[in-house]
Amino acid sequence: MTSLIAENLTYFYSNQSQPVLVDVSINLAPGTLTALVGPNGAGKSTLLRLLQGQHKPNKGQINVDGSSLLNARHHVALMPQRSLLNWSFPITVEGLVSLGRANHSKSTCCELEAALQRVGITDLAKRRLDSLSGGQQQRALLAKTLVKPAKIFLLDEPCSALDPPAREDFLLMMRQIADAGASVFISSHDWGKALNAYDKVIALDKTVLASGTPEVVREKLESISCMHGNYCHV
């Protein structure tokens, strides 16, 4: 079982005078499914990159099972937003998925097939990426993430190109992965009933506004909104 603890993270981009994140602390426990919600510009993607080690915080620390993230990055897998990839690159679905283990041992046919089957695109293995729909591309990207031998999965807007039934299937899949002992952390704009599928919700807007069960977080945000006389859109 692998846990991730981040304490007092503050981060500045070099070309900005104001911090993107301020004193953010979170705890991702094994066997849990956690949602990360917040408005555009809240720092959600930046936080995920910090937790995966792509960026180094200006302040604070990140530990995985008591060890520095620097020594434990192999335990953490990040699925970036689909819009950040070049989908015209001449590669097949199975070629993309095999890249998920580029820094690990060579992928076996069984591992690739298992990842494709898990996200329901086994029949697309030989298809080129530029021939896929948005939802199919999203599933291929998810398979690339899941083929990694990781224990902590960070997913940035994984439902953005999925229709409602596909989103339900996706959350069921993520629940199964969490129940198997992994920690799954999902960035989302969804502030509807779908959040009830999560064990925990973290509301972020440069700093953590609320953290807890979906019910606790909703109540906290409603309280914040009433104090400031506005409605908190997350």
**pLDDT in single tens digits along all 234 residues of the chain:** 789 999 999 999 988 889 999 999 999 999 999 999 999 899 999 999 999 999 999 999 999 999 999 999 999 999 999 888 888 889 999 999 998 876 655 556 788 899 999 899 999 999 999 999 988 998 999 999 999 989 999 999 998 878 888 888 889 999 999 999 999 999 987 777 778 999 999 999 999 999 999 999 988 888 876 555 444 444
Give a yes or no: residue 83 inside a domain: yes
Give a yes or no: residue 60 inside a domain: yes
Q: What is the CATH number of the domain that holds 126?
A: 3.40.50.300
Give the number of C-alpha atoms closer than 13 A to the C-alpha of residue 61, restricted to the C-beta side.
8
- pLDDT tens for 42-88 read 999 999 999 999 999 999 999 999 999 999 999 999 999 988 888 88
Domain that residue 180 falls in: 4-228
CA–CA gap between residue 7 and residue 23 (Å, rounded): 7
**Domains contained in the chain, number:** 1
Give a yes or no: residue 234 inside a domain: no
CA-closest candidate to residue 33, choices 194, 201, 167: 201
CA-closest candidate to residue 63, choices 103, 19, 3, 9: 3
Give a yes or no: residue 58 inside a domain: yes
Give a yes or no: residue 95 inside a domain: yes
Residue whose tokens read 């993309």: 96
User: Tokens standing for 94?
Assistant: 């199975």
Give a yes or no: residue 165 inside a domain: yes
What per-residue confidence (pLDDT) applies to 27?
A: 97
The alpha carbon of 199 is separated from its chain's Cα centroid by a whole number of angstroms, namely: 15
What per-residue confidence (pLDDT) applies to 234?
A: 43
CA–CA gap between residue 230 and residue 180 (Å, rounded): 41
Secondary structure (3-state) at 25: strand
Q: Are 40 and 190 in contact (CB under 8 A)?
A: no
What per-residue confidence (pLDDT) applies to 188?
A: 87
Give a yes or no: residue 233 inside a domain: no
CA–CA gap between residue 57 and residue 55 (Å, rounded): 6
What per-residue confidence (pLDDT) applies to 84?
A: 83
Give the number of C-alpha atoms closer than 13 A to the C-alpha of residue 79, restricted to the C-beta side.
30
Give a yes or no: residue 77 inside a domain: yes
Secondary structure (3-state) at 227: helix
CA distances from 138 to 1, 24, 64, 155, 161 (A): 27, 28, 27, 11, 7
